[in-house]
A and B are shown apart, each in its own frame.
Chain A
Amino acid sequence: MTAAADETGGWSVDQRRHEHLLLDEFHRLAETDPRRLEVRDELIQLNLPLVHHLARRYRDSGESMEDLVQVGTVGLIKAIDGFDVSRGLELSTYATPTILGEIKRHFRDRTWAVRVPRRLQELQSQVTATTEELTAELHRSPTVRELAERLDVSQADVLDALEARQAYSTDSIEADRDDDSSPGIVATLGDEDGAFEAIDERETLRPLIEALPERERRILMLRFFEDKSQSEIAEEVGISQMHVSRLLARTLATLRAGMTAD
């Protein structure tokens, strides 16, 4: 049994011959020839069952089949374009790793979608919005209980959503770099020397802290040396409290890694 028969539910000799002829034709046609696209379309149609078959392996990932088939098809097209008829391989054998590669890349690029089911993604944005709402109403950060009551969900759901926000690491620091209207690096640096005077590892720490992006450094100082709450920092820096929390966690991890590196 060949790979082609496995993956596509058994092709007849004729079907395989037909595919070979199409592939042959496809690679002989000039890139500008409109017939080339027609042939490619037919090759795609012929192999869509393979894409579906491979995409189904990831059906529990939380990503829709439609999206998986779509990225898988990108892999199929790449395989068709790069296929070398003279090597005597079946297209399905050649295309399988390419299709899987595209699907996996899709997950890598969007880890968020893999780890966090859609329902939780929605709840996560509701929690974020409601946190801001309640913070404005209460003039302090809300509790999980208050969020759950307002959203009419369980406290466990709110916790899951909070956890999901923490896991969402693709939120890049560059994303809101442009809103950086902080009072300037020099003032912060001045504080730093004083602030760290008492710390044993200050010689190790100083270069690590200096290497931090300005905003991360500022948040670190505000939290640990001016004892501001995450909400206060959020307001001062102009980002969400959750973002402050994530940046703090990441900054501490960076410093810790730097200090134990020696």
Chain B
Amino acid sequence: MTDIVTVTFAADTQNVALARTVAAAMAARADLPLDQLEDVRLAVDEAATEVIASAAEGATVTCAFDHDDSVLYVTVEAPTTATEPPSPTSFGWTVLSALVDSASADIVDGVMSIRMKVSSNLVDV
């Protein structure tokens, strides 16, 4: 099943709440338990805050969500002024990577992307 949802907003921290709300709704569609749903909310908050922190002037943040029956994929990206992705040993990244199964960040053509994957920890529901 393809069920892609994309949210786009100005790179302003006041819009992060929007991303959190959509993240929770998408986590529910992937049938994640509440524990993980709340973790996803926090992770998206971290990721969005991270890309906004180094976003280019007037940049737009895109949060894309995709899922199958038990896995949620999230990509948060925005044009950036940074030349390096967030350091794996930064506090923000430590937090973010603890909240999801896997997370990666890169900068390609001036766009910073943070990708996250969360698999439901329910076995055989």
Q: Which A residues form the contact surface with B (CB < 8 A)?
A: 131, 140-145, 147, 155, 158-159, 162-163, 166, 198-201, 205, 223-224, 227, 229-231, 241-242, 245, 248-249, 252, 255-256, 259-260
Contact = CB atoms under 8 A, between A and B. Distances in A.
B46 A252 contact: yes
Interface in B42-79: 42, 45-46, 49, 53
Contact of A143 (B28, B38, B90, B92): B28
A256 B28 contact: no
Interface of B: 21, 24-25, 27-28, 31-39, 41-42, 45-46, 49, 53, 87, 89-92, 94-95, 98, 120-122, 125
Contacts of B95: 224, 252
Main secondary structure of the interface of A (DSSP, over half): helix
A143 B89 contact: no
B87 A200 contact: yes
A142 to B, nearest CB: 6
B25, B33, B39, B98 — most chain A CB neighbours (10 Å): B33
A34 to B, nearest CB: 55
B21 to A, nearest CB: 6
A223 B120 CA distance: 17
Contact of B35 (A145, A155, A241, A260): A241
B98 A159 contact: no
28 contacts: A131-B34, A140-B33, A140-B122, A142-B34, A143-B32, A143-B33, A143-B37, A144-B27, A144-B31, A144-B34, A145-B28, A155-B28, A158-B28, A159-B24, A159-B28, A162-B34, A162-B37, A198-B94, A199-B94, A201-B90, A229-B121, A230-B34, A241-B34, A242-B38, A245-B41, A256-B92, A259-B91, A260-B53
A166 B49 CA distance: 18
A131, A145, A205, A242 — most chain B CB neighbours (10 Å): A145
A198 to B, nearest CB: 5
Given A140-B122, A256-B92, A248 B31 contact: no
Given A145-B28, A198-B89, A241-B35, A224 B94 contact: yes
Contacts of A224: 94-95, 98
B42 A144 contact: no
Contact of A231 (B27, B35, B90, B98): B35
B17 to A, nearest CB: 9
B31 A145 contact: yes
Contact of B90 (A147, A162, A166, A200): A200
Contacts of A159: 24-25, 28
A223 B49 contact: no
A205 B93 CA distance: 14
Contact of B42 (A131, A252, A255): A252
B35 to A, nearest CB: 4
A104 B53 CA distance: 35
Contacts of A249: 41-42, 45
Contact of A199 (B45, B49, B91): B91
A200 B35 contact: no
Contacts of B87: 200
Contacts of A166: 41
Given A201-B91, A255-B91, A143 B31 contact: yes
A144 B30 CA distance: 10
